[in-house]
Amino acid sequence: QSALTQPASVSGSPGQSITISCTGTSSDVGSYNLVSWYQQHPGKAPKLMIYEGSKRPSGVSNRFSGSKSGNTASLTISGLQAEDESDYYCCSYAGSNTLIFGGGTKLTVL
Amino acid sequence: QVQLVQSGAEVKKPGSSVKVSCKASGGTFSNYGVSWVRQAPGQGLKWMGGIIPIFGTANYAQKFQGRVTVTTDESTSIAYMELSSLRSDDTAVYYCARHWRNSFDFWGQGTLVTVSS
């Protein structure tokens, strides 16, 4: 089972919006609205940013939003801030009680 | 506030096994479940397996099937991950994470396992 496909890197200037895509198949992303997104700073554990496709946990800024179309889920960060610079990972339920992560995307705030 | 505290770093020989623990405080796994996720140096996150209560049994990624065992001890709120037949490419940071709403809401601090002869 291959990892979900994410761009290796994205960048944006402070105040701009960026979108990170996460492409799977009809067996995972396409079949379930169960994609979650994680932010991971170097040397730290991941932090949950979005669950069930588009829901934000308590305490996560409303600048973070999630969506899905077909086999592709997306994370959008609006009003980019320097502190958003990090690695981001998507994760999807993949059937048969398994989960699969994306390869990760490095966000650079210019 | 839930905290997951993992056991310390390990150095293992190729072919041996490692068992990593993850203790929950401020909550338990019984109502939520727990998974193990690993991250090799400079690489991404990979789900290895987990126990999800509504499914009742442990489930594993195909890549690790037969080599990994995930268990929980509800009396002590400790989860374990045992990985056998270790190879050099098993060198990684291993994280435990609590399941919540089909995602992972709390994570352990990570345990570095180094496999070297």
Whether the Cβ atoms of residue B113 and residue B20 lie closer than 8 Å to each other: yes
Gap from A110 CA to chain B (nearest CA, Å): 22
CB pairs under 8 A between A and B: 67
- pLDDT, tens only, A12-58: 999 999 999 999 999 999 999 999 999 999 999 999 999 999 999 99
Gap from A57 CA to chain B (nearest CA, Å): 8
Q: Is B25 exposed, middle or buried (0-12, 13-18, 19+ CB in 10 A)?
A: exposed
Gap from B28 CA to chain A (nearest CA, Å): 19
Tell me the chain B residues in contact with residue A55 when contact means C-beta distances shorter than 8 Å: 101
Whether B44 sits inside 8 A of A91 (CB atoms) is: no
CA distance A49 to B39: 19
Residue A93 contacts B, CB cutoff 8 Å: yes
Whether B44 sits inside 8 A of A45 (CB atoms) is: no
- pLDDT, tens only, A53-109: 999 999 999 999 999 999 999 999 999 999 999 999 999 999 988 999 999 999 999
In sequence order, what E strands does B1-115 have? 3-6, 10-12, 18-25, 34-39, 45-51, 58-60, 68-73, 78-83, 92-100, 103-107, 111-115
Tokens matching residue B48: 């290895």
